[in-house]
Amino acid sequence: MDIGLASKAAKRSYGGEGGSYTSWGPDDLPMLCVASIGASKLHLHNCGFAAPSYSDSSKVAYVLEGSGVCGLTIPEAERERVIPVKEGDTLAIPFGYVSWWFNPNDSDLTVLFFGDTSKGHQPGKFTDFHLTGPTGIFTRFTPEFVSRAWDLAETDVAKLVHNQSNMGIVKLKDSQKMPAPSAKDRDGLVVNCYEAPLDVDIKGGGCVVVLNSKNLPTVELVGLGADLVRLRGGAMCSPGFSCDSAYQVTYVVKGSGRVQVVGVDGKRMLETKVSGGQLFIVPRFFVVSKIADPEGMEWFSIITTPNPVFSHLAGRTSVWKAISPEVLEASFDTTSELEQLFRSKRTSDEIFFPAK
């Protein structure tokens, strides 16, 4: 099974004075196409504005740094949701939702997007449809059609459609007014991973916040689950795999560490060091483990099921603790003494193993 899993950084797609849009593609990471997963980042400077667009793919958005505003227009809703966002926020955005992003602050706003491209035009890559700008939908309708649709004179249509010369991202003037965000608009659409209750918290090891249909209902519409993991310095994340046929796509948010992935026929498919800004993919049923460098490592992952289930191969909850001693002894072709020694280890550690 010859597949490329090497970690990669995103490549710039477009941008300007207001910010940039970068993405990963199947040419660099072929597994994105196999898994039908898209991945990209939006980077907005002060007064940067990502104009309204919609996508052919459902997405999970994670705010990597900064704060700002996200506008969401839900199909058949009477008004848009104007959502204040900050570092650690996660939003699930089903396809068909129109969204825009704005950064009113001096510090940059960076947002990571993962999504399911199985129903998109290009597996492994988002296709976004812009409503304005040189690639906007209405630039290719004839003036007659747009005039009839909007009930405007063709001269007014021309001003609206062709005034914006920038593609996707612009820098707004200081005098440009924007709608004020409402904290109420976050309800049911946003979970902050730094403020949510921890699903796992191992002293000296690490902690996890899992995002699923229980705490973020819209992930059911998106069809993806997600988690934020913080691994302490020198700690290890237990070898494990997704036991519900899901792919796992991981973005390293902060820090660095080592990753190993083992797949079919016990072949090591990936052995590498990863650091902030890099992305890698774990195929279905492949086993992955990570060890953080001294400064620790933090990563955000999506899993291609809204309620993922993992099986671990080390620690208190591992399959080894459940398998009977006789089966374990026979499987390893070992002595009962060594089997007992093996079973006596990691009886209290779960998922994360602190540095020795």
Q: Is pLDDT of 299 > 80?
A: yes
The predicted pLDDT at position 95 comes to 87
The predicted pLDDT at position 4 comes to 66
The fraction of the chain above a pLDDT of 90, given in percent, is: 87
Q: What is the pLDDT of residues 8-50, one digit of tens each?
A: 889 999 999 999 999 999 988 999 999 999 999 999 999 999 9
Integer Cα distance of 13 and 19 in angstroms:
11
User: Mean of the pLDDT values across residues 234-258?
Assistant: 95
If 0-12 CB within 10 Å is exposed, 13-18 middle and 19+ buried, where does residue 296 land?
middle
Q: Is pLDDT of 154 > 90?
A: yes
User: Mean of the pLDDT values across residues 97-119?
Assistant: 97
The predicted pLDDT at position 251 comes to 96
Q: Is pLDDT of 261 > 50?
A: yes
Q: Residues, the chain, total? A: 356
The predicted pLDDT at position 1 comes to 42
pTM of this prediction exceeds 0.75: yes
- State both tokens at 48: 């940067």
User: Mean of the pLDDT values across residues 82-90?
Assistant: 98
Query: Of 162 and 151, which is predicted with more confidence?
Result: 151
The predicted pLDDT at position 96 comes to 87
CB crowding 178-206: b at 16 or more within 10 Å, else e: eeebeeebbeebbbbbeebeeeeebeebb
User: Mean of the pLDDT values across residues 147-167?
Assistant: 93
User: Mean of the pLDDT values across residues 275-303?
Assistant: 96
Integer Cα distance of 293 and 334 in angstroms:
34
Closest residue by Cα to residue 59 from 278, 233, 215, 219? 219
The predicted pLDDT at position 23 comes to 96
Q: What is the pLDDT of residues 88-104, one digit of tens each?
A: 999 999 988 999 999 99
Closest residue by Cα to residue 237 from 248, 229, 245? 229
Question: Which is it for the CA torsion 70, 71, 73, 77, positive or negative?
Answer: positive
User: Mean of the pLDDT values across residues 103-124?
Assistant: 96
The fraction of the chain above a pLDDT of 70, given in percent, is: 99
If 0-12 CB within 10 Å is exposed, 13-18 middle and 19+ buried, where does residue 248 land?
buried
Q: Is pLDDT of 230 > 50?
A: yes
Average pLDDT score, the chain: 94
The predicted pLDDT at position 2 comes to 45
Q: What is the pLDDT of residues 320-349, one digit of tens each?
A: 999 999 999 999 999 999 999 999 999 888
Task: Please check whether residue 189 is in contact with residue 215, taking contact to mean a CB–CB distance below 8 angstroms.
Answer: no
The predicted pLDDT at position 3 comes to 60
Q: Is pLDDT of 284 > 90?
A: yes
- 């059609």: which residue's tokens? 145
Which range (130-139, 159-168, 176-185, 188-197) has the least confidence? Answer: 159-168
| Phi, psi (degrees; rounded to nearest 5) at 266 | 65, 20
Integer Cα distance of 44 and 107 in angstroms:
9
The CA distances from residue 194 to 186, 187, 238, 295, 308, in Å, are 15, 17, 22, 18, 20
